[in-house]
Structure 1
């Protein structure tokens, strides 16, 4: 099973935000952004911060893909 954050990247485009904006507004680190870009797991705390910043639910930013 693979984690896909494609929904997050699409949401950022819709909100006219870039990754740096997300990093600053959600108070996450560059390492978290790198893990997201590599489709690696991140902590629930980080996902919560992203959801809170974007006013969305976790299903709006990620999904599991069966390989």
Structure 2
């Protein structure tokens, strides 16, 4: 898990939007929504749709986590 979409879900809570409502609104599928919920990689196209739908920048919806070094 190298990315986190907690910021996105915090925005949705603040706007009182359910995940499924938001997905339908911006035109992303349930599989993509599941990936976002699991902090998995999604395409740049999806990230652009989200940013346009929320009128925000990419930094406001996701975070790139520091690389974990294995011992």
Q: TM-score range by the shorter chain?
A: over 0.9
What's the TM-score once normalised by structure 1's chain length? Answer: 0.93
Aligned to 2:23: 23
Aligned to 1:54: 54
Larger radius of gyration: 2
What's the TM-score once normalised by structure 2's chain length? Answer: 0.88
Give structure 1 regions of 4+ aligned residues with deviation exceeding 4 angstroms. Answer: none
The structural deviation recorded for 1:12 is 0.2
Write the distance in 2 (CA, Å) between the matches of 1:57 and 1:29.
Answer: 21
Aligned to 1:40: 40
The structural deviation recorded for 1:15 is 0.7
Aligned to 2:9: 9
Structure 1 residue runs without a partner (length 5+): none
Q: Counterpart of 2:39 in 1: which secondary structure? A: coil
Instruction: Report the RMSD for the aligned CA atoms in angstroms.
Output: 1.1
Q: Count how many residue pairs are aligned between Structure 1 and Structure 2.
A: 67
Q: Counterpart of 2:17 in 1: which secondary structure? A: coil
